[in-house]
Amino acid sequence: MNNLIVLPLLLPLLSAIILVFLRKQVAVQRSISGISALLNIVIAVILVGQIQSDGIQTLYMGGWIPPYGIVFVADMFAGLLILTASVVGAACIFYSFSSIGEERERMYFYPLVQFLLAGVYGSFLTGDLFNLFVCFEVMLISSYALIVLGGSKRQLRESIKYMLVNILSSALFVTAVAYLYGALGTLNMAHLSQRVAEAGQGGMLNVIAILLMIVFSLKAGLFLFFWLPGSYAAPPAAIRALFAALLTKVGVYALVRTFSLIFYHDPAVTHTWLGWMAGATMVLGSIGAIAYRNVSSILNYQVVIGIGFIGLGLAIATQAAWDGVVFYLMHDMLAKVLLFILGGMLITAAGTEKLLEIRGLIDRYPLIGWLFLGTTLALVGIPPLSGFPGKVMLIRSAFQEQAFVLAAIGLISSFFVLYSLIVVFKQAFWGSELDQEPRTTVPPRSKLLNGTILAVFALLVFLGVNAEWLYEFVSHAGHVIAEPDLYIQAVMKE
Amino acid sequence: MELVMAITTGLLFAVAVYLILSRSVLRIILGTSLLTHGVHLLIMNMAGLKRGSAPLISEDTMSYTDPLPQALILTSIVINFGVTAFFLVLAYRANQTLGTDDLEKLRGGDENE
């Protein structure tokens, strides 16, 4: 029992409720959401420290011992993801101070962000499949509101499709939960794992596993990412950064949990599918990334490629692969949030998304330009930046399991990341500025924002340089994912 | 009884899919609403229909109905209610702004920004 692990969920929830009542006082709203975001980082650091020293932390809601009641479980994987997500959340909130506009701030922007964060942390922490659905919905309903906040034509058009896709996948999620309950009579993940192991993962359970795979792949954008580029292009940059860094990663988290803890007995069926989907995601994402000459489309397809690359680790599913998945997931969240914030600043500075109309920004915006290049190199995986250790671990585990085709696709997709982002860098920052009247939109230049992006970039360098130190935590997480018994014993103590 | 329920669930799913595949946003929303109703019936059916008394401890009875599916369905109904309300408002607002509720015309791309 550890009451600390409910705090990452409780703090954003409480701050959101307080913020709802402070609609008119924008300055107060800003400081409360900023402080709450920073506090969450502190809580997450303490939590990770506790998990590292004392093992998996659990909290039985209302004192109901599993399999009854709802249990919150914080293993190292969840802890590290909460830490990364809280950094991402803080960066997005600081970015929105100078970019989102007072109109949106008055229309409950900050409470919605906090509700979204509460849903994300809840999804990472919960040890119950139905509770996972509820946390997903908390997150998704906030995202429905955020994606349409402002009500431009493009937002209204895209949010209808985004909502429809997510409502359908949620309905399928509940269907899968119903089948699981009918088949196994429990929804506690640790208990499910035990019962699947006892019953043997045969035909019926494989069908449920594939159903869950479809649901989570839709949310994660693994192969079923047709909705992603359109929807993520609609909202303003701060919201886009939040979505790109967090929403799809929650789907990935659910995939990892389901296929490492519950359905890991029949990899010939489930993990083969995951492998094909990961490969196809990387190929299609690469094609998308080089097909467009529009900054936000190019950035959106980077999300797709990243998900595909993590999917590679999901398909391999050895402990080395899980280490890689954890490390790469942390890197990817940080790098994506930085990439999208820089992309948003670039679009504001240029006044257009069309790449061919942007040139020579490096003179006026050297910081954005060089950080963009740095983030590109991090995403490609150039040492000493943070993409390198994760990619090494994932590719090496693929070679160990003789998945040469997947490894090759993964390596080649890195070149496409490099090519597509260098095209943006070269076109937008180099050359001389187009001779035309200066754009009317004033680009954000605030010390807080510059500090934020520098801090996130410093984190990327830190993760890359201190990979050895971080590996201690990452391998702890990978070890628990690879050995479901550890998780089960921590939850089902009696 | 379970068989009847299973057939009803199937019918609800079929009608829902038919509605969701249409072009009008309003029909699609009705479809998603029916789909969730189908899912709720499925939960109830999967856990077995009522076999005992209310799940309150008493000395008169030995078998109790499983209360968990009801809790799941209740939660899901609340969520579905909120989401459907939001979706309806969104569709109304989109219709006002975009002047259409035909999904074929809501197709978007870079070219028509």
Answer whether residue B52 shows pLDDT above 80.
Answer: no
Confidence of residue B113 (pLDDT cuts 50, 70, 90): very low
Chain A residues near any Cβ of chain B (below 8 Å): 130, 133-134, 137, 141, 144-145, 148, 151, 153-154, 156-161, 163-164, 167-168, 170-171, 174-175, 177-179, 181-182, 187, 230, 292, 294, 297
Residue B42: list chain A partners with CB under 8 A. 175, 178-179
Dihedral sign computed on CA atoms, order A229, A230, A231, A232: positive
> Which residue carries 């890359």 as its tokens?
A464
Interface test with B, best of A141, A173, A175, A188 (most B CBs within 10 A): A175
Residues B42-71 have a mean pLDDT of 81
Whether B58 is in a domain gets the answer no
| Residue A388, helix vs strand vs coil | helix
Q: Is the C-alpha dihedral spanning A478, A484, A490, A491 positive or negative?
A: positive
* Alpha helices per DSSP H over A149-269: 153-184, 189-199, 203-220, 228-233, 237-242, 248-257
How far apart, in whole angstroms, are the C-alpha atoms of residue A383 and residue A396? 16
Cβ–Cβ under 8 Å, residues B82 and A148: no
Task: Read off the pLDDT of residues A453-470 as tens digits, 9 standing for 90 and up.
Answer: 999 999 999 999 999 999
Domain assignment present for residue B56? The answer is no
Compare all CA atoms of chain B with the CA of A187 and give the residue at the minimum distance. B68
Q: Is residue B82 part of a domain?
A: yes
Share of chain A above pLDDT 70, in %: 97
Q: Do the chains contact at A174 and B20, CB–CB below 8 Å?
A: no
- A164 neighbourhood in chain B, CB within 8 Å: 20, 28, 32
| DSSP category for residue A354 | B
pLDDT at A443: 54
Q: What is the pLDDT of residue B67?
A: 84
Domain extent for B89:
2-49+68-103
Cα separation, B88 vs B94, whole angstroms: 10
Report angle CA A411, A417, A420 to the nearest 5 degrees: 140
| B14 occurs within a structural domain | yes
Pair of tokens at residue A84: 């990364």
Write the DSSP symbol of residue A234: S
Residues 24-63 of B with CB under 8 A from A: 25, 28, 32, 35-36, 39-40, 42-43, 45-47
Q: Look up residue B88 and give its two tokens.
A: 């309806």
**Chain A residues within an 8 Å CB radius of B40:** 174
Q: Has residue B8 been placed in a domain?
A: yes
Report how far apart, in Å, the C-alpha atoms of A192 and of each of A66, A123, A183, A205, A413 are: 11, 17, 10, 11, 36
pLDDT digits (tens, 9 = 90+) for A3-33: 899 999 999 999 999 999 998 899 999 999 9
For A426-460, give one letter per residue: b (16+ CB within 10 A) or e. ebbbeeeeeeeeeeeeebbeeeebbebbeebbebb
Residue B55, in any domain of the structure: no
Q: In Å, what is the CA distance from A256 to each residue of A152, A168, A318, A319?
A: 36, 22, 12, 12
ipTM score here?
0.93
Looking up residue B9, the CATH number of its domain turns out to be 1.10.287
Residue B109 maps to a domain? no
Inter-chain residue contact A134 with B93, CB threshold 8 Å = no
Number of domains in chain B: 1
DSSP class of residue A442?
P
User: Is residue B37 scored above 80 in pLDDT?
Assistant: yes
Sites in chain A below the pLDDT cut of 70: 434-445, 494
Tens digits of residue pLDDT in A201-235: 888 899 999 999 999 999 999 999 999 998 998 99
Residue B6 lies in a domain: yes
Assigned token pair, A10 = 């409780």
Contact between residue A453 and residue A371 where contact means Cβ atoms under 8 Å apart: yes
What is the rounded CA–CA span in Å between residue A352 and residue A354? 6
Distance (Å, whole) CA A13 – CA A205: 36
Name which of A163, A181, A294 is nearest B87 (Cβ-Cβ): A163
